[in-house]
Structure 1
């Protein structure tokens, strides 16, 4: 089961057909006058043949100069590659794809893996891990933020977000025993219809023989949360399948205390900016107390991110924070710490 947003990303071939949607007769005439063969033109969809990569680039330049360029959407179909799902994109998305072909190849070929970073309880026992996207060993390097930004700008963010979730689920099956929480990020903007778009996630958990209650899916918001009702439906779909949810970076950007109180996530992850040197900053201390108090009103467990100093950890312990994460306890790595498997499972977090 696939929709076009998550379907495989086909390479742009050196020979094929460019389809334009919302094309005018004048644009079709201009294309013909430039020496290109018009394959079809009906209902504002214009099909134009090209036979070399250079011809394709020149054709795109011609299209970009058209008066209606901003309204056009484009689909490029290689010879013999046309299938039931046709991917349409704007000219700006196509430009991003051409100018970032290395990163697009990494996305299309899923040339990434999942690292995991420990999450500890107040007794410093590892009770969970957050899974983070990283380059494959010996693979092409990339910065995760840049990869997701290119995916967003090119229209491939749903494909990447789903592939990253599946990678984390499969890695957790290989590396972790039952009873250990697995925190996995997701972008709400990549999920158009929760009941449909999350099917592959639930199927992956089932196929790996894993327990839904061991998973926590957390909202990663690099963009404004402008549709709380949509995010509420996503949370409800996760919970309907026995999975817990978390709100990331609370106290920074768009993840405000008000948003947290409205969504009532099972886990509240406090932004590292509030945690850093919180033992020395009265303003941060007040903000932390407010988040903890408000989360307590709906039973949310609070996790402090970005802890790098024992003083920060001890202060968070005194405040009553349930969980902690940061370089103090371990950096993201391809495998759990060597001491973890000896104590795994003795301290669950519910």
Structure 2
């Protein structure tokens, strides 16, 4: 059981046809008509309020979207529904599933590199060790951190990758591909310890369907490798989660499969503290802004002590991330369970061994 829509990459059609635009507001319709005339874009109005733009030849739709992006403001793009109908087809109910905001179609055209990466299943990963706080030379787990490059080999910063996916409505596809390829790359590179895999709960509609390919990928691994309990699914952007019940269903699905769950950025806001008590994750990761300089900030120290006390009461293990200075680690090592940061090792394609701060 899986969701074929998240496995199909939505590439823009290459055929000739007609791009239909349906502005929601009369003001937007009038503005669009004026812009079409000003930009000398051929345009018809087959029915009241619907504009039809002819698209010619392979690449014609992309060229039209570029012109529309240049001609229309972002609010005009977002206030207009759009769908493309190839020559020889009449608009019907089947086209409704391919109807999007014009801004989304433009974003999809601009996301050609991302679409190619997803279509070729070429996401890569770097790995960073999570070490035992008391003995940083001992690896407890690795976190898989997504990496991607354009077809020409230029690296794409992860924030740009996810921003592009959101704008193009490809977050579901990116999140699914990232989960599966994190597992594959870890196996290829011989990681036998726990693996922390990031996931965005807003990119999962129905846990029963959206997570099934991830569960199957792990269950297909050889029995002599790490079992389900060796995989920790880490909720990223937890401060942006508004539907706790939905996240709880995701967490329950992972736990029924035998996996563990981590909550990131604890201490970044009230929302994550609220989720801590409701979700009872196996691990929490302390926000790096709270960790940075903690050895010399009494205010940060008091907050962290209270968070750790709450986690201990709930039988949750604590990871401090973003550690870059030995003084931070010395203050933390008797308070938290695990540590992560550049002080011990930077992320690398080949899983690095950590460096003990006192043996450097």
- TM-score when scaled to structure 2? 0.78
Relative to 1, partners in 2 of residues 1:136 and 1:72: Cα closer, same or farther, differing over 3 Å?
closer
Give the conservation status (yes or no) of the 8 Å contact 1:113–1:133.
yes
Give the conservation status (yes or no) of the 8 Å contact 1:248–1:255.
no
Task: Give 1:89 deviation, angstroms.
Answer: 2.2
- 1:140-289 map, 5 Å: 140-178=154-192, 180-209=193-222, 211-221=227-237, 224-253=240-269, 256-289=272-305
Task: Give 1:312 deviation, angstroms.
Answer: 1.3
Q: 323, 344, 348: which is aligned to 1:307?
A: 323
Relative to 1, partners in 2 of residues 1:128 and 1:149: Cα closer, same or farther, differing over 3 Å?
same
Q: 126, 140, 143: which is aligned to 2:139?
A: 126
The separation in 1 between residues aligned to 2:286 and 2:66, in whole angstroms, is 50
Relative to 1, partners in 2 of residues 1:190 and 1:247: Cα closer, same or farther, differing over 3 Å?
same
- What is aligned with 2:347? 332
Of stretches 91-100 and 127-136 in structure 1, the one that deviates more from structure 2 is 91-100
Task: Give 1:225 deviation, angstroms.
Answer: 1.5
1:89-128: CA deviation from partner (whole Å, max 9, x where unpaired) = 2112123233454445445544430110001112220011
Structure 1: state its 5+ residue gaps. Answer: 341-350
Q: Secondary structure at the match of 2:240?
A: coil
- C-alpha RMSD of matched pairs (Å): 3.9
Relative to 1, partners in 2 of residues 1:6 and 1:96: Cα closer, same or farther, differing over 3 Å?
same
Of stretches 185-194 and 330-339 in structure 1, the one that deviates more from structure 2 is 330-339
Relative to 1, partners in 2 of residues 1:175 and 1:258: Cα closer, same or farther, differing over 3 Å?
same
* Number of residue pairs matched by the alignment: 335
Structure 2: state its 5+ residue gaps. Answer: 356-360
Task: Give 1:194 deviation, angstroms.
Answer: 0.8
Task: Give 1:72 deviation, angstroms.
Answer: 4.2
Q: Secondary structure at the match of 2:156?
A: coil
Task: Give 1:253 deviation, angstroms.
Answer: 4.3
Relative to 1, partners in 2 of residues 1:141 and 1:58: Cα closer, same or farther, differing over 3 Å?
closer
The separation in 1 between residues aligned to 2:270 and 2:53, in whole angstroms, is 44
Of stretches 169-178 and 310-319 in structure 1, the one that deviates more from structure 2 is 169-178
- What is aligned with 1:18? 19
Relative to 1, partners in 2 of residues 1:338 and 1:311: Cα closer, same or farther, differing over 3 Å?
closer
- What is aligned with 1:88? 99
- TM-score when scaled to structure 1? 0.80
Of stretches 266-275 and 93-102 in structure 1, the one that deviates more from structure 2 is 93-102
Q: 108, 124, 128: which is aligned to 1:113?
A: 124
